[in-house]
Amino acid sequence: MANASAQLYERAGKVVPAGVNSNTRARSPHPFYFQTADGPWLRDADGRQWLDMVMGNGAVMLGHNHPQVQDAVRQAIDRGMTTGVESALSVEVAELFLDQVPTLDMVRFTNTGTEAVQHALQLARHATGRRRIAKVEGAYHGWSDELFVSVWADVTRAGTVNNITPLAGTTGLRDDVVDDVLVVPFNDLERTEQRIEQAADEIACLLLEPVMIDIGVIEPMPDYLAGLRQLCDRHGIVLLFDELLTGFNVAPGGAQARYGVTPDLATYGKALANGYPLAALAGREDLMRMTEPGKGPAFVGTFNGHAISMAACQATLRVLQDGSVQKTVADRAATLAGQFDGWAKSAGIDAVMTACGSHVHWFFADRSPTDYRSAASVDRAAYAAFNTALEQAGVVTLPNPLSHHAVSLAHDVAALDRLAEAMEAGFAAIAEARANAGA
C-alpha cells in the first residue's frame, strides 16, 4: 500500500518541527497530509477518503468547500483587494454581525482567537485600572503568557479546588505572569465567588467559555452564568465570554442568546467564516470606543478585516442568519449522542457523549463531566482504543481525550452511517483490549 503521508512526514521533518504547523496535528506514527476537502470528507495524499470529525476544530460548520462561501471568496479575489485598507464590505459585515448578536453594540475584526482575547484583556485593564485576570481552570483561550495557564494541567500539581494553583500550560511562559492569574473552577459559583471576592479590587476581567468546549463539551449549570454576571457587576469586573466556539454555533446570537446572559465583551472566531482566518471582539459601546485612536489601548493589525476573510464571513453569516442551520446541526449532534449512549450501554462500557450546537465529544466515564477535574479523570486507555478503531475505519479524530469534535451541516446520512459503524467497532476494540488485559 502506498503511504504518501509517511513520505511527506519524512520530508517535512527536515524543514518543519514535528512535520506540522500546529502541535495538535502531530500523531503517531506520523501526521495525516490531505489534498482535498468537500463536505464532511477529506482525501489524503494517497487518495484515501476520510470522514472529518474535527472540522477545523469546529470552524467549518457548513462543511468544506461550501458553495456560497467559496463563490464569495472567488469574487473577493477577483476584486483584487486583500489587506491594509477598509472597504464597504467590512462595514456590511459588521452590521450583519451585530444584527445577529443584538446583545452587543460594536465589533472590531482581527485574525485569531488569541489576538481577540489579548485585545479584550488590554481593554479590561484600561477600563478598570486593575492588572489581574481571573480564568476558569482547564479553559484554552490561546497561547500567550497570561492565557495559556492551567490548560490541560496536571491536577496532582494544581492544588485543591478551593485554592487552585495556576500552572503554565507550556514552558517558556513568564512565571510572574502565570502566578498573577487567578484560576477558578467551572460550574462552581460558590467557590468562584469566594476566590474573586478575596482579590476583587485587583481583578480587571473574568474570562471563560460559557460552554467549556476545548476540553470536551460541558454546559453551564442553571444560574451559573447569571451568578457570574451578578458577581462581576458587584465588583466592577469586566465579564468576558470567549465565544470562539459557541458564537454563531449554539444559537444565532451565541451562548449569550442561548443562556440569556450578556457579557461586557465577547470574542468570536471559528464558525464566523467557515474556516477562513477571522476573529472578532465585540462588546458594550462605552468599552469598545475606548479602542479608538488616542482613547485607550491600541487595536491594530495589518491583516485585520482582511478582504478574503470578510467575504467568507459575510457569506457564512447569511447562511446562518435564520437559525435553521444551528437547529439542524444541533439535532444531528443530539441524535448522535443518544445513539452513542445506547451503543455504550449495549457494550457494557461506561461512556457518554455530550453535545451542544455542532460540538460533540465522547468521555469514557460513568457520567458527564461538569468541570475540568472531572473531565481529566476519564479513562484515557479506553479513549485511545476507541479512537484508534475510528482511525482504522477512516475517521479523523483528535488523540487527546480532553479535546472536542464536531458535526457540520454537510454531515449527511451517509456520513453519519459511516461514523456509526466506526463507533460500534470502537466499542468492540475497547472490550477486546479489556479482555486481553484480564487474560
Q: Of 320, 345, 366, at which residue does a domain stop?
A: 320
Q: In this structure, are residues 30 and 38 in contact, taking their beta carbons and an 8 Å threshold?
A: no
Residues 277 and 336 in one domain: no
Range scoring the smallest mean pLDDT among 23-27, 150-154, 198-202: 23-27
**Using one digit for the tens of pLDDT, what is the confidence trace for 258-287?**
999 999 999 999 999 999 999 999 999 999
Residue 2 lies in a domain: no
Residues 311 and 341 in one domain: no
Residue 217 lies in a domain: yes
Residue 1 lies in a domain: no
Residues 46 and 71 in one domain: no
Q: What's the CA gap between 172 and 64, in Å, rounded?
A: 35
What proportion of the chain, given as a percentage, has pLDDT over 90?
93
Residues 159 and 282 in one domain: yes
Find all residues with CB under 8 Å of 264, minimum gap 6, and list them: 124, 232, 238, 239, 240, 283, 284, 287
Question: Mean pLDDT throughout 3-16?
Answer: 93
Residue 439: pLDDT above 60? no
What cell does 138 get? 482547564
Residues 58 and 98 in one domain: no
Count of beta carbons in the 10 Å neighbourhood of residue 338: 12
Helix, strand and coil percent figures for the chain, each rounded to 5: 45, 15, 40
Residue 360 lies in a domain: yes
Q: What's the CA gap between 401 and 398, in Å, rounded?
A: 8
Residue 173 lies in a domain: yes
What is the distance of C-alpha 240 from the center of its chain?
Answer: 15
Residue 260 lies in a domain: yes
**What pLDDT, on the 0 to 100 scale, is given for residue 1?**
40
What is the pTM for the complete model shown? 0.95
Residue 415 lies in a domain: yes
Question: Mean pLDDT throughout 307-328?
Answer: 97
Residues 285 and 358 in one domain: no
84 confidence band (pLDDT: 50, 70, 90): confident
Residue 10 lies in a domain: no
Residues 338 and 262 in one domain: no
Write the DSSP assignment of 47-59 as a string of letters: S-EEEESSHHHHT
Q: In this structure, are residues 124 and 132 in contact, taking their beta carbons and an 8 Å threshold?
A: no
Residue 2: pLDDT above 90? no
Q: For residue 382, which of 398, 363, 361 has the smallest C-alpha distance?
A: 363
- The domain in which residue 348 lies consists of 32-65+323-438
Q: Of 262, 290, 320, at which residue does a domain stop?
A: 320
Residues 385 and 267 in one domain: no
* CATH at 423: 3.90.1150.10
* CATH at 101: 3.40.640.10
Q: Of 320, 338, 360, at which residue does a domain stop?
A: 320
The overall average pLDDT reported for the chain is 95
Question: Mean pLDDT throughout 219-226?
Answer: 97
Please tell me the total count of domains within the chain: 2
Residues 212 and 285 in one domain: yes
Count of beta carbons in the 10 Å neighbourhood of residue 337: 20
Q: What's the CA gap between 296 and 183, in Å, rounded?
A: 27
Residues 94 and 230 in one domain: yes
**Using one digit for the tens of pLDDT, what is the confidence trace for 155-183?**
999 999 999 999 999 999 999 999 999 99
**What pLDDT, on the 0 to 100 scale, is given for residue 33?**
94
**What pLDDT, on the 0 to 100 scale, is given for residue 267?**
98
Find all residues with CB under 8 Å of 415, minimum gap 6, and list them: 39, 40, 41, 51
**What pLDDT, on the 0 to 100 scale, is given for residue 226?**
98
**What pLDDT, on the 0 to 100 scale, is given for residue 408?**
97
Residues 59 and 125 in one domain: no
Residues 363 and 297 in one domain: no
